[in-house]
Amino acid sequence: MKTIAIIGECMIELNGTPFGTMQQTYGGDTLNTATYLARNTARDTLRVDYITALGTDPLSHGMRVRWEADGIDTRHVHTDPAHSPGLYLIQLDASGERTFLYWRNNSAARHLLQQPAWPQTAAALAGYDHLYLSGISLAILPPADREHLIDILNTSRVPITFDGNYRPALWKDPAETRTAYARLLPHVQLALMTWDDEQALWGDADPEAAIRRLQQAGVREIVLKNGAAGATYATGDTRHHIPAERVEHIVDTTAAGDAFNAGYLAARLQGANPVTSCKNGNRLAARVIQHKGAIIAAEHSRLN
């Protein structure tokens, strides 16, 4: 059985109309990917571990129970008695595009590397078959902790998958982000990037320029996601463009990229080629954007 450790943060989600009816659930880019990956792989072929910190509050307990029901292993979910999960609110426009408001500055996940049992978790990372994190996983950490995590990842000798997921509000400035990414990218085997983010952070002239820059940084395999325009897989001089699946009615684009990542990895880690894996990612993303919220009902998100 293969194992993958996904490092990040999950928050309480409020979805609905401000000052009106709000639905409470949860989500977070890496947790979304962990959930959809676990739902779409057999538990005897891939163990999906989520690494984060939660509080001692009832919402934290409820999230852990639901993650385990989805097939996520929580052995490295730390319990922080001094902090609680962050919170975000999704506002949707008429086309399903979303904007977010966040309350996460003192979340438990921000203090992940300060948990008493973190050294044991850090030591365990070298024993996984794959490691996965995002730009948000790095952004939420205090600078010294961020540097320490990158050092651990860079010396783990385990294949790393990285989703850049650039959120400017979480960083001091773009230069801080570029410095952190530049330290990690030479050790990344697979980059699952979004064109809009790459252009905003690096100022690339076009998608091919972004791909070439990532290759020069040392990334061996790249998937550049571009929303309705589809995705491009790149390795060496090889390029494959995979069109997005057509969706007649988009309800909520929250977690579309996270779902793509899960669909891609669900296929790729079980031996599928990159094109088939991208198609799998597109299929899962198309399912998710036809429902509200980051984590949709399990029966709607299983591809097989």
Phi, psi of 190 (to 5 degrees): -130, 125
Q: ∠ CA 203-268-231 to the nearest 5 degrees?
A: 35
First to last CA, the chain: 20
- Report DSSP letters for 150-199, one per residue: HHHHHTS-S-EEEE----GGGSS-HHHHHHHHHHHGGGEEEEEEEHHHHH
* 125, 107 Cβ separation under 8 angstroms: no
* 247, 289 Cβ separation under 8 angstroms: yes
Residue type, 204: D
* 125, 156 Cβ separation under 8 angstroms: yes
How far apart (Å, rounded) are the C-alpha atoms in residues 259 and 16? Answer: 21
Q: The tokens of 301 are what?
A: 């998100």
> What's the order of all strands across the beta sheet hosting 11-16?
22-27, 11-16, 87-92, 98-103
Non-local (6+) Cβ contacts of 160 within 8 A are 130, 131, 132, 133, 153, 184, 187, 188, 189, 190
- The catalytic residue positions are 258
- Quick one: how far is CA 155 from the chain centroid? 21
